[in-house]
Every structure is written in structure tokens, then in C-alpha cells.
């Protein structure tokens, strides 16, 4: 029997029970839709996170105090106050770090900011004036504080767009005084709205790091150094130079473990994307359970169908159909059913994730992008077809094994 005719025969078989066929594939449709949805949204989330990380600048290298814990028992060895003023001076010396262009200290904490009767809980970032050079920081009004202001421990603040809106509404914020941790800060600049980004500057107050250390946080160390390599090609060199410089500065020799960590933007992107990938795969695996349930439904219905069509099977055998012919016919019916279910599921899943992406983009300021997960779509078709093959095999064998006379006698 030619394959073309097997397909036609299988199609006719399904067509004669259209309503049943449609209900049968529902399980597969739902399963594949869920998988496509999860994979597409997972990809969207990953793109979003990577976009934010990339927004930090591709040449950015972050140095943190303490060591990234390798496990729970390791936590005691973390010295988060290990980055000191002399480390900064060491990193700034060109002979130590020829590949590093900028070194900016960063301290942070949370505080309530008050103006008149309004308060707003925000993140305080203490930085130097290099901030503007490392990050792209367009100002809505005013200007960034200068290196002079940093040295003078000026109580100047640049506020994010949301902070401005919460505290001042439509009023002009420039030159006004806001209160944080009992100190008065003069607003010297308001940032343009940034949308979702890694540091969430919209809800932040940016002040000189000196002021932050002495008046607001009461600390002597730095939380991070934000550094920038001279060029993208020099990122790894720069990271290596930073490590060597800090080890020397901290008197670490031989096998002594680092009490700091250095993360490039590429490292960070890789790490975050592996987290989202694992989550996506986990969720897709949960969704895949419904495919198995759908497959069992198909097997059940196929068995009913084989019994109902006992006479037809007997007739076909009497007319010369072989074991293989009958097996192929019923397997194809199962595979066509699940394949169609897979196809509908892919389209439905793609449509739903597109709708969700569009809704998110339109109703929030998050730039969520819709990605059609081609690999998931191929996987969906292959898996749903495979489910048809696996769960169709038993009913098809039952059909093919029927003896022609028993089948012809069946009423």
C-alpha cells in the first residue's frame, strides 16, 4: 500500500468521527499550548533580564566585597566590608590596572525620603561623578553633582523620575530640600524616566558616596566598585588586573581565598540566563505532564475506535490488507490526531504569548518582547507526534492482530 493512500485512509477514518477526533486532541492542544506559552514567556523574561544587564554597558565590571558563597556552610567566610579606600586608590593607579578606564565606588542602602507630608521608600546609591560616564544618565532637569561636591561631602541628591512624581507631583523639584535619615538634601537633578532597569534608578536617590558613607549609612567600606574596561577586548584583562591588585592590597598570597569577587557583565548575563532557562525547562516539564494525560486519552479513544471498526478491519484483511497495512492505518490516525493537536497548540500558544507580551508592553512600562520559540514549536510537533506513535501503538497492534473471520463475524 502506498503511503499516500495510507494517509488518505487514515484521514477518512478521522473525518468520519469529526466531533470525537476534535475532543480527543483537546488534551494535546492544551499540553502543547502550555509548553509554548511557558517557553515563549520564559524567553521573553530572559530577553528582558539580559537587556537590562546589557543596559549596564558591555564594558562594565563589578567588584564586590566578600566572597560569593559556594554553599550554606561557606557563608561565615564572607567579609562584605573588605573593599576599602586604599583598594580604590590601588585600582585607580594606572600601573596596577592599565586596562581599566574608570573605577567608581558604590555604596547603597534603603531609606525613607520625606518632602512636606509625603514620604517615599527608596534606594540610596552613593556614587562618584563618574556615574554619568559609566552609565547613560539623561537628566530631565538639573545636573549631576560634580567631583568637587563629592569631596565636599555635599548633601546634594539626584532623584529618579518616580521619586520626583511621588514626592513633588507636578511641582518643580529642583532646588527643593528632601529629608533622608535625618539629613536635608538639596535636589540638584531629576533623571529622565528609565523604565525597568537593573538598578531601578526610577525609584532611587543618587548622592555623593562620601556623604552616603558618613551621614546616611555610617560605614567606612564600599559595597561595590563599578569599573569599566578601556575596551570590550580588554574586559578579561581588566578583570584579571583588578583581581591581582586587590589580592596584593589585601595581602592575599598563594592559595588564600579571595575576599572579594569580580563579575563582568558577560558573566552576569550568563548566570541570569541560566537561571531563567532552568525555570523555563522546569515549568515546561510540568506542562508536559498534560501531554501524557492527553496521550492516554488518545489511546483510550483509539481502543474504542478499533473495537467499533472490527468489521471494517476484517473486511480490509479479507481484501488483502496485511498486518503492516492495518498497523500503519491506525498508527497514522493516532499520529495525525496528535500532530494536528500539536499544530493547533503551537498556534494557540504563540497567539496567547503574543497577546500577553502586547498587554504587558501596553499597560506597563516594561518593554516585553514577544519571541516565537521556534525550537519549542519543533519540539511540540515532534513530541505530540511521538505521543501519537507511542499511545497509538497498542490500539493499532490490537487492530492489526484481529483475525479476519472474527472481525467479519463481529456485529
Partner 1 sequence: MPLIEINNLTKVYVNEEVETPVLHGVSFSINRGEFVAIMGPSGSGKSTLLHVLGFLDSYTDGSFLFEGKEASTYAGDATASIRNKKLGFIFQSFNLLAHASVFENVRLPLFYSDIPESEWEKRVNDAIEIVGLSHRTDFDVTRLSGGEKQRVAIARALVCNPEVIFADEPTGNLDSKSGGAIMQTLQELNEKHGHTIILITHETYTAEHARRIIRIKDGLVESDEEVTERRHTNGGILMK
Binding site for partner 1 (CB under 8 A): 1-2, 5, 9, 12, 16, 311-312, 314-325, 403-405, 408
The beta-strand segments (E) located in 202-289 are 204-208, 224-229, 260-264
Helices marked H in 181-252: 209-211, 235-249
Based on CB atoms, which residue is closest to partner 1, 9 or 280?
Answer: 9
Q: Which grid cell sits at 169?
A: 507631583
Nearer to partner 1, 1 or 347 (CB): 1
- Alpha-carbon distances of 199 from 55, 85, 160, 195, 206, rounded to whole Å: 10, 23, 11, 11, 11
Query: Of 5 and 271, which has the nearer Cβ to partner 1?
Result: 5
d(Cα 286, Cα 352) in Å, to the nearest integer?
Answer: 18
Cβ 332 to partner 1 shortest distance, Å: 13
Choose between 5 and 85: whose C-beta lies nearer to partner 1: 5
Instruction: Write down the residue that cell numbers 565636599 correspond to.
Output: 152
Burial 110-135 (b: 16+ CB within 10 A, else e): ebebebeeebbebbbbbbbbbbbebb
Is the Cβ of residue 224 or residue 316 nearer to partner 1 in the bound state? Answer: 316
The owner of cell 544618565 is: 137
Task: Indicate the residue among 164 and 309 with the shorter CB distance to partner 1.
Answer: 309
Shorter beta-carbon distance to partner 1: residue 86 or 409: 409
Q: How far is the CB of 321 from partner 1 (least distance, A)?
A: 5
Q: Which is nearer to partner 1, 236 or 403 (CB)?
A: 403
* Smallest distance from partner 1 to CB 298, Å: 23
Largest CA distance in the chain: 103
Exposed e or buried b per residue across 175-207, where buried means at least 16 C-beta atoms within 10 angstroms of its C-beta: ebebebeebebebbbbbeebebebbebbbbbbb
Q: What's the helix, strand, coil split of the chain in %, to 5?
A: 60, 15, 25
Minimum CB distance to partner 1 smaller for 2 or for 257: 2
| Shortest Å distance, C-beta 403 to partner 1 | 8
Task: Using alpha carbons, select from 333, 274, 342, 336 the residue that is nearest to residue 302.
Answer: 333
The phi and psi torsions of 102 (rounded to 5 degrees) equal -125, 145
Minimum separation from the CB atom of position 8 to partner 1 (A) = 9
Q: Choose between 15 and 95: whose C-beta lies nearer to partner 1.
A: 15
Kindly give the pairing relationship between strand 156-159 and strand 183-191: parallel
Query: Which candidate, 395, 384, 351, places its Cα nearest to that of 27?
Result: 384
* Residue placing its CB nearer to partner 1 in the complex, 293 or 405: 405
Distance CA 127, CA 224 (A): 10
Contact 61, 228 (CB under 8 A): yes
Give start and end residues of each alpha helix (H) in 309-322.
310-318
CA torsion angle for 138, 62, 272, 192 (degrees, to 10)?
-10
Distance in Å, CB of 7 to partner 1, minimum: 12
- Site of grid cell 504587558: 360
Amino acid at each position: 500500500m502506498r503511503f499516500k493512500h495510507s494517509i488518505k485512509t487514515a484521514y477518512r477514518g478521522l473525518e468520519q468521527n469529526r466531533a470525537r477526533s476534535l475532543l480527543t486532541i483537546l488534551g494535546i492542544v492544551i499540553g502543547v499550548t502550555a509548553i509554548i506559552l511557558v517557553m515563549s514567556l520564559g524567553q521573553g523574561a530572559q530577553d528582558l533580564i539580559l537587556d537590562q544587564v546589557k543596559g549596564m554597558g558591555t564594558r562594565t565590571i563589578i567588584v564586590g566585597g566578600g566572597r560569593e558563597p559556594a554553599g550554606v556552610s561557606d557563608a561565615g567566610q564572607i567579609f562584605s566590608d573588605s573593599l576599602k579606600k586604599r583598594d580604590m586608590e590601588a585600582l585607580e593607579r594606572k600601573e596596577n590596572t592599565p586596562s581599566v578606564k574608570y573605577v567608581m565606588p558604590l555604596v547603597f542602602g534603603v531609606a525613607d525620603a520625606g518632602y512636606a507630608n509625603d514620604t517615599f521608600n527608596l534606594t540610596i546609591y552613593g556614587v562618584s561623578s563618574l556615574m554619568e560616564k559609566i552609565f547613560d544618565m539623561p537628566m530631565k532637569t538639573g545636573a549631576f553633582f560634580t567631583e568637587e561636591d563629592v569631596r565636599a561631602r555635599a548633601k546634594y541628591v539626584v532623584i529618579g523620575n518616580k521619586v520626583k512624581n511621588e514626592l513633588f507631583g507636578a511641582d518643580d523639584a529642583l532646588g527643593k530640600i528632601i529629608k533622608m535619615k535625618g539629613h536635608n538634601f538639596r535636589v540638584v537633578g531629576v533623571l529622565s524616566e528609565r523604565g525597568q532597569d537593573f538598578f531601578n534608578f526610577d525609584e532611587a536617590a543618587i548622592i555623593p558616596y562620601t556623604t552616603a558613607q558618613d551621614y546616611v549609612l555610617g560605614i567606612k567600606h564600599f559595597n561595590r566598585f563599578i569599573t569599566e574596561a578601556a575596551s570590550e577586548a580588554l574586559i578579561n584583562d581588566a578583570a584579571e588586573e583588578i583581581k591581582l591588585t586587590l589580592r596584593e592590597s589585601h595581602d592575599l598570597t598563594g592559595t588564600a581565598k579571595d575576599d572579594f569577587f569580580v563579575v563582568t557583565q558577560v558573566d552576569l548575563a550568563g548566570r541570569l540566563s541560566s537561571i531563567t532557562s532552568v525555570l523555563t525547562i522546569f515549568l515546561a516539564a510540568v506542562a508536559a505532564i498534560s501531554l501524557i494525560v492527553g496521550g492516554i486519552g488518545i489511546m483510550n479513544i483509539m481502543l474504542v475506535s478499533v473495537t467499533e471498526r472490527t468489521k471494517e478491519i476484517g473486511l480490509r484483511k479479507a481484501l488483502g490488507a496485511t498486518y503492516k497495512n492495518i498497523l500503519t492505518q491506525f498508527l497514522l490516525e493516532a499520529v495525525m490526531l496528535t500532530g494536528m493537536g500539536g499544530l493547533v497548540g503551537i498556534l494557540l500558544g504563540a497567539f496567547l504569548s503574543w497577546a500577553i507580551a502586547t498587554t504587558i508592553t501596553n499597560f506597563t512600562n516594561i518593554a516585553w518582547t514577544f519571541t516565537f520559540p521556534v525550537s519549542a514549536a519543533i519540539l511540540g510537533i515532534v513530541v505530540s507526534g511521538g505521543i501519537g506513535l507511542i499511545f497509538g501503538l497498542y490500539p493499532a497492534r490490537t487492530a492489526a492482530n484481529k483475525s479476519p473471520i472474527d472481525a467479519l463475524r463481529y456485529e
